[in-house]
Structure 1
């Protein structure tokens, strides 16, 4: 017999480690600092002919906001169609100049600096305050209003200049984390929802076909026709605008809008802006073209609120632009110099007599994601189109006659892309943390809800918002500040993220990933993306860089 009592069974192998829930069903995606599907990043460039077409596309996209703001403000000032054409020309000229400055000496990101809606409330307040004064003609009222706006913008521009070049704004952004970036960048896009489908619906027979055609041509058709993939991906927007614009012109000529409400005519007709008839052939914007600026302390405070709002809006847009152009998040010193330079641009806008200041254009950043082209050179070339069409008014007026519903359809896509980019920042933090979800949810919801309350309860006829204390200066600042989704999301998110159990959740908040990008030498790529051209940094004091 064989003894078996002392024989031991071999030890069984330990069970394999449990896979994360759902891992067996498919791959998981690690965080990626750069989007892999970009065809040209910030410092790579397409061919010159292609770059020029892409640049023209950027010009067309930013034109809608410019025309909409001028159409909203100029009639209330007492201006006629010729005045509106000159205002559009001045805004375009300053947009081109400020975009060139920002891409050369500011953030160096491919961002267009376009007209900002943040200035609507303070400008409307100025218009209302001047409503009781007597003027012999509407044009005289318009010129006086423009001079008052000029004075307010000149004074308030120093707020951004001081915030930027004192590095105060950069130090504020050091308090950010991916948990703050998500709601801020999201509402940069989502907060403009009233410029999307509500404007499209004013002329649904033009706007809706534009939206459907753009989605089908740019996303589906390029997959059905592989040979046309590149062309459709990059230039479908231009093709679609041309087709629907021609369709709108046919409806206009056929008399489809002869007996419709005025609002429908403004949104549908291709000839109702009267810009082609009233725009001068050649008109060069020049300093103090409306006359000597008028300075009133009561009007300055509203503009100060708008200046702060544009700083918040531009900051969120810069982070989205960095992601869509293949760059690292902009460091604190880059954001400081960009906001300071934005203040310089606002000063120039006051001197040249633009009706509103500029901010980083959300729609143009969305265009980077739509075309997969994040090239800085393309945006710099687009400034040539802005300046050219601002001087040669008849040519610029032709494209400005594109119905607003077409622009609104385009914005539905572009604003959505920017909002989605904001969501992508959550990958750098712990999105399974209930603490993080609380901060994200509250910041995102209040960032949309509070501004909607302020906008809904603002009378556009007189610029009065829901806050109506005894001090009008206080009302103007608060109403302007809390009408901005990015500003509200930034305030709420920064406060919550830096006070709610912040010491024990550093890793969950994504701080280890975030901190290197905030220092000048924290990441080796920072200098690659954000260094100034021609070694200018060697001749400028560090505090201004």
Structure 2
């Protein structure tokens, strides 16, 4: 039975002439109330918390840290601190879209591969449990004795090499973004390239919900069902909350309390909290075993309680906390290759975020600035010594479409909360104790939304064209086939150089990198009309948005530029020549090249 909403229940969004209907409740130009901002920020933090916890622990395994070593909590606090700092920088100064920055798992294969070198082997006869990456279980580091290998590196020395190699590799990304090379390359990117790149990001993450649901598929299924029920069936229900408008109407005799659609805005957070509570009840009644070796132990609410005791009350990360960074050439080469894979993934996330925010695609300077800030974030992360770098998180972008909240203040608030949690270590440790099934169920729905978000770009493409179908099918199939082949047969690639093998395995094992490269090459080297490729449809939309930019609060001049840009150019006009700075026309007072979608050179012809 279909439920219809009455007109007085639906907030009417004014028609400003855009080619598409705005469905967001809180847009970039319409910030939510403080209560909604904080709760939505917590929802984003909870979604990225599994990787924020798992990746630093995998890095700790890579440097042979003990299970109860304080260095684990130090890496976790430092990683969470850098996630907050980079999120604030990227959202406020970088691409200026609500994008959460978190630790990148793309760099893990390089760290796991370097464990096989003689100087990185673990000492003593302690068996180190192999960390799980995706659906892979990496081989345990070879056990070695200090007497037979006198050049073994200590934990601090390994972190120093990670830090120096990350800092050196980050300079490449800074160079690419600072010189505008990314913006120039985007001239070759069209809807046929964007669709498989974004969709493959979601498809490549399917192993994560499987891993987190392993301990209790019942709780994970409950979490997924709750997200669907909250978002689709209860999304129209309004719940009175203490907002500013309700406080003003409280003293009036005929004042009407305005409800907020909490189920629509916070379905993921409410699902996680509900499953967390159910897990607590089942833990208290001893439904789940207390044996840590049992596979259902991670479904317990107290499975990660040791993390609370291991985390300090107050800790402030600082550059050089593990010593002066050193350099490792194989690590640096591997990190450089992964930076290129992460770069393509980030650019795809920028387009996905723009689509989720219902604004034009980011212009050249915004993309350049976003990549530049990611490189700077990697440089700072290397200096702090977290052992990994931050990148954009695709699941949080899909969550904006699901929750209909796409405002940058939410992500800025999330950044400050993560900084606070990292400094007050006990708070962050409490959040890190969320049971795995509670996260697995919610992530399954979010990743599915991400796939559909990428596929929605194909609405501009002629899907009756054999050329387009061949390119899309090949990009999707190769993007899934080759990484799975590398996963099952990792020893097939033998070039004679361990560094080259590591680079090839990382590049060929990244689905969005493979699919994006295949799509961009075939789309630009084979014959096809602009109409069939979807270029003209994007051009029409951009031209319509350009005409209505004066009336649209979400125009490029307010989305990707800063309010103080004009004042800056009055004192330093040379800054407008930088490829990552907005280029303003002093007669028009708005962007010139920036107002258009970057992939297309527009000609106002029908």
Band of TM-score, shorter chain: 0.7 to 0.9
Runs (5+) with no aligned partner, structure 2: 1-16, 129-151, 241-258, 550-554, 582-606
Q: Structure 1 segments of 4 or more deviating over 6 A?
A: 135-140, 224-229, 516-519
The partner residue of 1:236 within 252, 262, 267 is 267
Matched, 1:44 2:30: yes
Aligned length: 506
Aligned equivalent of 1:63:
49
Aligned equivalent of 2:367:
335
After superposition, give the CA deviation of every residue in 1:77-104 in whole Å (9 maximum; x if it has no partner): 2223432222111111111111111112
TM-score normalised according to structure 2 size: 0.78
Aligned equivalent of 1:527:
557
The structural deviation recorded for 1:33 is: 5.5
CA distance in 2 between partners of 1:359 and 1:403 (Å): 25
Aligned equivalent of 2:247:
none
Aligned equivalent of 1:92:
80
> Using a 3 Å threshold, how does the CA distance of structure 1 residues 511 and 275 change in structure 2: closer, same or farther?
same
The structural deviation recorded for 1:331 is: 1.6
Aligned equivalent of 2:92:
104
Matched, 1:374 2:406: yes
The structural deviation recorded for 1:362 is: 1.0
Matched, 1:355 2:387: yes
> Using a 3 Å threshold, how does the CA distance of structure 1 residues 340 and 443 change in structure 2: closer, same or farther?
same
Matched, 1:194 2:225: no
The structural deviation recorded for 1:473 is: 2.0
Higher helix share: 1
> Using a 3 Å threshold, how does the CA distance of structure 1 residues 89 and 181 change in structure 2: closer, same or farther?
same
CA distance in 2 between partners of 1:147 and 1:50 (Å): 41
CA distance in 2 between partners of 1:266 and 1:467 (Å): 36
Aligned equivalent of 2:589:
none
SS in 1 for 2:102: strand
The structural deviation recorded for 1:230 is: 0.6
CA distance in 1 between partners of 2:562 and 2:238 (Å): 42
Q: Which protein shows a greater Rg? A: 1
CA distance in 1 between partners of 2:459 and 2:298 (Å): 43
SS in 2 for 1:222: coil
Q: CA RMSD, aligned part only?
A: 2.7
The structural deviation recorded for 1:195 is: 1.0
> Using a 3 Å threshold, how does the CA distance of structure 1 residues 182 and 271 change in structure 2: closer, same or farther?
same
After superposition, give the CA deviation of every residue in 1:249-294 in whole Å (9 maximum; x if it has no partner): 2333444222463554345453336210100000001101111212
Contact 2:28 2:357 in 1 (8 A): yes
Aligned equivalent of 2:116:
128
CA distance in 1 between partners of 2:532 and 2:443 (Å): 34
The structural deviation recorded for 1:533 is: 4.0
CA distance in 1 between partners of 2:387 and 2:187 (Å): 33
The structural deviation recorded for 1:515 is: 5.8
> Using a 3 Å threshold, how does the CA distance of structure 1 residues 285 and 206 change in structure 2: closer, same or farther?
same
Aligned equivalent of 1:441:
473
The partner residue of 1:74 within 60, 71, 79 is 60
Contact 1:319 1:330 in 2 (8 A): yes
CA distance in 2 between partners of 1:333 and 1:516 (Å): 22
> Using a 3 Å threshold, how does the CA distance of structure 1 residues 155 and 297 change in structure 2: closer, same or farther?
same
Contact 1:454 1:482 in 2 (8 A): yes
After superposition, give the CA deviation of every residue in 1:359-411 in whole Å (9 maximum; x if it has no partner): 11111111101110111111111111110001100111000011222222111
Contact 1:126 1:145 in 2 (8 A): no
The structural deviation recorded for 1:229 is: 7.0
> Using a 3 Å threshold, how does the CA distance of structure 1 residues 66 and 517 change in structure 2: closer, same or farther?
farther
